[in-house]
Amino acid sequence: MKTAEIASRFLDFFEKRGHTIVPSASLVTDDPALLFTVAGMVPFIPYLSGDVPPPYPRAADVQKCIRTNDIEEVGKTPRHGTFFQMLGNWSFGDYFKADAIRYAWELLTTAESEGGLGFDPKDLWVTVYKDDDEAAALWSEIAKLPEERIQRLDKDTNYWSTGLPGPAGPCSEIFFDQGPAYGVDGGPATDDDRYVEIWNLVFMQYEISNVTSKYDFDIVGELPNKNIDTGMGLERIAFIKQGVQNMYETDQVRPVLDLAAELSGKTYGANHEDDVRMRIIADHVRSSLMLLADGVTPSNEGRGYILRRIMRRTIRSMRLLGVDGPTFPTLFAASRDAMAEAYPVVADDWERISQYAFAEERTFLRTLAAGSVILETAVAETRQSGGESIGGEQAFLLHDTYGFPIDLTLEAAEEAGLTVDRAAFDQLMQEQRTRAKADARARKRQLADTSIYREFRSLGETVFTGYTELEAESTVLGIIVDGVSVDRASAGQIAEIIVAETALYAESGGQVADKGIIVGPGYELEVLDVQKPVVGLISHTVAVTSGEVAVGLAASTIVDAANRRSARQAHSATHLVHAAIRDTLGRSATQTGSLNRAGYMRFDFNWGSALSPETRTEIEEIANNAVRDNLEVTTRVMSLDEATSLGAMALFGEKYGSEVRMVDIGGPWSRELCGGTHVSSSAEIGIINLVGESSVGASNRRVEALVGQDAFRELAAERAIVSQLTSSLKIPRDQLPARIADLAASLRAAEKKIAAFEARALADRAPALAETAVAVGPHRLVTASIGVAGSGDDVRTLALQVRERLGSAPAVVALGADVGGRPVVIVATNEAARTAGAKAGVLAKAAAAALGGGGGGRDDVAQGGGPDVSVLPAGLAAVRSTLERSAS
């Protein structure tokens, strides 16, 4: 039974039982405490928590998920994957335990010929929470399971909570027994791999508080509406139904595994370590494909960092299998073909997906080449110093800064007959993980709790009237101060205000929030920000400038008209620039992000190289031609399917409801899904002036523009500058570029002459400096401050010249200088001094310590520095005292 068929049977089963079939949400969640959709429940959290009224009483879905907390286990166990799919059925205050258990048992044990999954009841076990007598009795009654196959377990396995105050409840898990060949008898309580968990039924029935951990809390009462939240692992069902050993051998994953074996010349099943690598490749390629399909792009932070990490783990695993060249064009195409039946977007959007994937592979292969050079240097220095181990700090630097995997560092060190200080490396890694976890916990504490808005959202959605009016009359529904719901706020306080209707736009879709005021009887509020803390609710952060605002009072939301006008111009300009970019570069140059505020817009899009000046001019001209042509701007509300069938473009990672707002500028030329505010015709935009183009990551570019009056001011300022230059240089405007180029060339030539003169002047000081040498033990030592120098290289050159003049006897030279306002000390030693124990790197570190900075280098030449030039004499003195101690 194919994976897609299992999903289809699941959805058909629940649709026939009155469930609304909900499409999978994006892997990119809008939950601020999460980077990704890590579980099937994530899109339903607002409904399960009661923050948002559910749009249906019962639902079913197949949800895409990404989870990387167990990434090191991928490939080693039968069922750990970074990308997985959860089959779920949900009840929001509708049915409860009995029906949830009945539905699960019926679907699992109904024959395949009758639409079920065809499991033999004798192969199924269940667990319940130890105190949940009701669930145990229902399993006995409905499934006729004997008592020994209903096992009671503790909170750590059979109780669900988020680890925060709110809903919680016991759960019941269903396991498949793979048989005696896979382990010991005794059921899931043995925690043996023989028993595979396939379905978890969560009975969300209690409210908890005083939460000190995920399993330590107080139950304060029952929820007014009891919910059902279930999750069945699609990949786990698939590997059981397909008769294979693990999820990596199922039909959606195996093609990539087989290709990895073919490309490497390895045989799957012949070697355990190679098998693990092939399974990692199969899993990670699919995960990368699905993340790219949902708009995530490789980067060095956030979601992009996770994607980059799993893509680079893939490349590393191929390398460890003996394949050094590019493989993504083959591997990703195979994954695309395997996943396209379930997710057609991976084929429809292949041009964009492949562009990012292939560029990332090329980049990392270059990184590996560069890292290899750095590693070879570390190996050589370790050997030269007589060491046997590469330092953990060096290994961590390679890993953290250059992206060079520790596995390859270990492999290269072993080939060179060396080891790596793995304990030190692991300690640094652990410190980094600890910092990351602390940051994540802080983010979760700060952002995850939206329960304060629950009572306000239950009153209905906030009505936004700002598309057609700049003022709206309403009533104050709620006031929040310092995270607490209060009934009033007074002058001088900062508060959040909830009203029933508002004309003020809440930040979303790249458009920043409106400016404005809220006024009512006896009070006035300055609007500082407008946000949507939960779906359907608008909250205004305000400063109470006068009077006292209270719940129940009338409120008028008033938009700053001039600011809104400029914001509308900028947002509509963004749509024109997007269309112009696609006209110029092609359909693959799609939006990855934007920001619009009054008079300014920026637009991010996927593209692999910088735009030429000619291309920028062409994009700017196309956009301004659209302004000149006074194109009509129209908005229509329709179903998502209708909008996409008309060719409307959607932003990756953005969530859209069943109804969407489509914005046309000039008909289909610019047609996008957008909830922002816009001009009524393109001529209202005025002028679009592209002022910048830059890189914002691999295969990602950004253009920035000023719009309307701000664009005019910028052009007027440039005109004034040109006028000043033509007047000062007494030439026509069209000769300015050539004249400025001539002046710049003359300046560079003069700077070179000055640098050469300064270098000769420094070299002329070498004989006199050599004469100042004093005896320190067996060494002749020169220490001197040479004043201001153009660069550290100039000081280094002089130190080497002085060292040469001191002959073959042990000699040490330490010269200090002011380089750009910071102290620099260069230490140089000859071979005789090094034999006698004087190492330039050690002496430079001593100087750096005195200077309050850092330093080091080779044994023959090294450098130290710091922030304060006034302590330069102390740095030179530290060189002498360190040398004296080594000589005594």
Instruction: Give 735's DSSP letter.
Output: G
Query: Given the DSSP bridges, would you call strands 20-22 and 58-66 parallel, antiparallel or unpaired?
Result: parallel
CA–CA separation, 398 and 362 (whole Å)? 18
Distance CA 43, CA 23 (A): 11
Residue whose entry in the numeric block shows the structure tokens 């076990």 = 125
What is the C-alpha separation between 3 and 252, in angstroms, rounded?
7
Query: Rounded to an integer, what distance in angstroms lies between the CA atom of residue 579 and that of residue 671?
Result: 9
Containing 649, the helix (H) or strand (E) segment is none
Residue recorded with tokens 């949900």: 90
Q: Between β-strands 83-92 and 216-233, what pairing exists: parallel, antiparallel or unpaired?
A: antiparallel
Q: How many domains does the chain have?
A: 7
Is residue 284 annotated as involved in ligand binding? no
Shared domain check, 771 and 760:
no
Check residue 758 and give its pLDDT. 74
Amino acid at 162: T
73 found inside a domain:
yes
- The answer to whether residues 477 and 518 touch, using CB atoms and an 8 Å cutoff, is no
d(CA 410, CA 582): 46
Q: Which of 159, 97, 161 is nearest to 130 (CA)?
A: 159
Which residue, 559, 584, 616, sits at the end of a domain? 559
Give the span between the Cα atoms of 865 and 789, in whole angstroms: 14
Q: What is the CATH number of the domain that holds 654?
A: 3.30.980.10
The predicted pLDDT at position 539 comes to 95
Of 779, 778, 839, 843, give the one whose Cα is nearest residue 815: 843
DSSP secondary structure string, 452-519? GGHHHHTT-PPEE-TTT-SEEEEEEEEEEETTEEESEEETT-EEEEEESEE-SPPSBTTBPPPPEEEE
pLDDT of residue 856: 81
Q: Are residues 299 and 269 in the same domain?
A: yes
User: How far does Cα 287 stand from its chain's mean position?
Assistant: 15
Same domain as 211, residue 149: yes
One-letter amino acid identity for 610? A
* Distance in angstroms (rounded) separating the CA atoms of residues 703 and 606: 11
- DSSP letter (8 states) at residue 681: B
Instruction: Report yes or no: 311 and 297 within 8 Å, Cβ to Cβ.
Output: no
Q: What is the dihedral of CA 467, 468, 470, 472, to 10 degrees?
A: -100
Question: In what side-by-side order are the strands of the sheet with 659-665?
Answer: 633-639, 659-665, 670-673
pLDDT at 443: 43
Q: Is the distance from CB of 793 to CB of 812 less than 8 angstroms? A: no
Q: At 154, which CATH number?
A: 3.30.930.10
Residue 588: closest CA among 349, 292, 358, 336: 349
Enumerate residues 6+ apart whose C-beta is below 8 A from 519: 525, 555, 556, 558
pLDDT of residue 445: 41
Residue 613 sits in the same domain as residue 709: yes
User: How far apart (Å, rounded) are the C-alpha atoms in residues 445 and 468?
Assistant: 38
Domain final position from 362, 379, 407: 362
Tell me whether residue 571 is annotated as binding: yes
- In sequence order, the β-bridge partners of residue 517 are 526, 558
Query: Do 778 and 794 fall into the same domain?
Result: yes
Phi and psi at residue 233, to the nearest 5°: -70, 115
CA distances from 845 to 850, 861, 866 (A): 9, 12, 11
User: Torsion over CA of 64, 69, 73 and 75, rounded to 10 degrees?
Assistant: 30
Q: What is the pLDDT of residue 95?
A: 96
Predicted local distance difference test score (pLDDT) of residue 77: 82
* Same domain flag for 38 and 170: yes
From the list 293, 298, 296, the residue with the least C-alpha distance to 343 is 293
Name the pairing type of β-strands 855-857 and 822-829.
Answer: unpaired
- Domain match, 430 and 472 both: no
Contact present, 799 and 765 (Cβ < 8 Å): no
Least Cα distance to 244 among 177, 178, 151, 160 occurs for: 178
Please check whether residues 786 and 883 belong to one and the same domain. yes
Does 724 map to a domain?
no
The answer to whether 171 is a known ligand-binding residue is: no
Query: From CA 666, how far away is CA 592, in angstroms rounded?
Result: 23
Mean pLDDT by 10 residues, the chain (888 residues): 95 96 89 82 86 91 91 83 94 95 97 95 96 95 94 92 84 95 90 90 92 84 90 94 92 96 94 93 96 87 87 90 93 96 93 89 82 78 82 81 72 79 86 66 47 83 95 95 92 95 94 96 96 91 96 96 96 96 89 92 89 95 96 93 85 69 93 94 96 83 95 93 92 91 92 81 86 92 90 89 92 93 94 92 92 87 92 93 86
23 DSSP assignment: P
Percent share of the chain, pLDDT over 70: 97
- Does residue 626 lie within any of the structural domains? yes
d(CA 661, CA 668): 14
| 394 φ/ψ angles, rounded to the nearest 5 degrees | -65, -40
Please report which helix (H) or strand (E) contains residue 183, including its range: none
Residue 715: CA count within 13 A, CB half-sphere: 13
Residues in the chain: 888
Is residue 346 a part of any domain in this protein? yes
In whole angstroms, give the CA distance from residue 567 to residue 583: 24
Give the pLDDT of residue 447.
Answer: 38
* Alpha-helix runs per DSSP H in 587-707: 613-628, 640-645
Tell me whether residue 845 is in a domain: yes
Structure letter (DSSP) for residue 324 = -
Which residues lie closer than 8 Å to 157 by C-beta, 6 or more apart? 127, 173
Rounded to whole angstroms, the Cα distance separating 201 from 143 reads 15
In a domain, 771, yes or no: yes
Q: Which two tokens stand for residue 853?
A: 């900075």
Residue 631 CB partners (closer than 8 Å, separation 6+): 665, 666, 669, 681, 682
8 A C-beta contact, residue 470 and residue 558? yes
Distance in angstroms (rounded) separating the CA atoms of residues 65 and 26: 9
817 and 795 in contact (C-beta within 8 Å)? yes
User: Residue for token digits 């080091």?
Assistant: 856
Q: 814 and 866 share a domain?
A: yes
Q: What is the SS3 assignment for 562?
A: helix
Flag whether 674 is marked binding.
Answer: yes
Measured between alpha carbons, how far is 860 from 385 in angstroms, rounded to an integer?
12
**What is the residue range of 570's domain?**
564-716
CATH number at residue 518: 2.40.30.130
Residue 621 has a pLDDT of 97
Digit-coded pLDDT (tens) for 517-545 = 999 999 999 999 999 988 889 999 999 99
Tokens in use for 180?
């005696």
Paired with 230 in beta bridges are: 201
One domain, residues 176 and 66? yes
367 found inside a domain: no
Reference 13, options 91, 84, 117, 83; nearest CA is 117
Q: Which two tokens stand for residue 441?
A: 């916990």
For residue 18, what are the contacts with CB-CB under 8 A and spacing of at least 6?
Answer: 58
Domain end marker among 542, 559, 576: 559
In a domain, 80, yes or no: yes
pLDDT of residue 167: 86
CA pair distance 326, 333, nearest whole angstrom: 13
Q: Are residues 75 and 210 in the same domain?
A: yes
Confidence at residue 237, expressed as pLDDT on a 0 to 100 scale: 95
Same domain for 699 and 573, yes or no, is yes
